[in-house]
Amino acid sequence: MGRVVVAGSINMDVVALAERHPRVGETVAGTSIKYFPGGKGANQAVAAAKLGAQTLLIGRLGSDAFGRELRAFLVSQSVDVSSVTETADAHSGTAIITLADADNTIVVIPGANGLLSTDDVAGPALSKGDVAVSQFEIPLPAIAAFFARARAAGATTILNPAPMRAFDLALHDLIDILVLNETELGLLAKTELHEADEPARFADAAQSVLRRSDQIVCVTLGKRGALALIDGAPLLVPARAVKAVDTTGAGDCFVGALATQVAQGTPLREALGFANIAASICVQRMGAAPSMPTRAEVAALLC
Ligand code: ATP
Ligand code: RIB
């Protein structure tokens, strides 16, 4: 079985819970405040590790209290943090999250994540069968260098371009599996997509962003599940009917779970079903990284 190697962000999520979201310019009284380990890179690494993959995270933390807490948490989740370096030049990444009605708004302050460099991704060994995973909360040159090394080594690359920003074709060409939500797909495909659109609309948009015929695109659709385009054919994976309490990190859980399955050599259709179940467990719990399920929890729901 290959390893999962994630290059990505590590944040402390400062979560304000409220009865409803404030409108712009409005103040509402919150009900509580929580501090959860998060950041898309850390969330995906924790998901992969809990789901059974040997997992290495490449990232940066500030030399501050959040940084120490985040590192200790990652170690406790069996994530290899030997490539997470500490920098005195910036604070640890921090996300300010408002959560109401199981829906969130997020402002991310990258801090140390923004200093992740091409040198940081040059060290860890990558081998055939490994899965290299990244997202857009770290600088794009570091992701491109990481993916170029990964593909040269025969590893599979998974990009979760969130939060979406413009990226060049050279990076696009290095992606084997692209996992993104409908808003991100709409931005990339330069078309307007809505949650309630027909699956064919998502399939067409996914088709339009392919750069190679062997690239796979998977659109996560929240409570509707996910739609993947595999060898040009759409596959709809319906979500499990569950009561979501906090969807923060659901996409990250999906990506980390998918990476674990690909590293194990599981056929893609089965891997997507597994990721969909894992993410349905995640949304029923509070917080990002702490809400990732274990392998046994997912296995118990697989028929
Ligand atoms: P986030 O940015 O909050 O992490 P996202 O927009 O990247 O989320 P979503 O598409 O909302 O990701 O969700 C990812 C996956 O989580 C879905 O494809 C689905 O498998 C699962 N999921 C999300 N919401 C629900 C829900 N309400 N019920 C069941 N499964 C869900
Ligand atoms: O995807 C969820 C994550 O996005 C949160 O944990 C937060 O840190 C932001 O980066």
> pLDDT at position 197, please?
94
> Which residue owns the Cα nearest ligand 1 atom 26?
223
42 and 83 in contact (C-beta within 8 Å)? no
Instruction: Tell me which residue has tokens 């659901």.
Output: 250
Choose the catalytic residue: 13, 130, 246, 252. Answer: 252
Instruction: Report which of 31, 13, 129 is spatially closest to residue 70, judged by C-alpha positions.
Output: 13
- Say how far apart CA 278 and CA 289 lie, in whole Å: 13
Distance between CA atoms of 255 and 45, rounded to whole angstroms? 9
Please give the Cα distance from 60 to 87 (Å, whole number). 7
Say which residues have a Cβ less than 8 Å from residue 20's Cβ, sequence separation at least 6.
28, 100, 101
In short, whether 247's Cβ falls inside 6 Å of ligand 2 is: no
Q: What pLDDT is attached to residue 101?
A: 86
Q: Which residue has the tokens 């402002």?
A: 107
Is 252 assigned a catalytic role?
yes
Mean pLDDT per segment of 10 residues, for the chain of length 303 residues? 97 97 96 98 98 98 98 98 97 97 93 98 96 98 98 98 97 98 96 92 97 96 96 95 96 98 97 98 97 98 86
Ligand 2: nearest atom to the Cα of 12: 8
Q: Who's near 4: CB < 8 A, 6+ residues apart?
A: 45, 48, 49, 53, 54, 55, 56, 130, 131, 133, 256, 259, 260, 263
Quote the ligand 1 centre to 195 CA distance (angstroms). 12
Kindly indicate whether the domain formed by 4-22+31-302 is annotated with CATH number 3.40.1190.20: yes
- Give the model's pLDDT for residue 126: 97
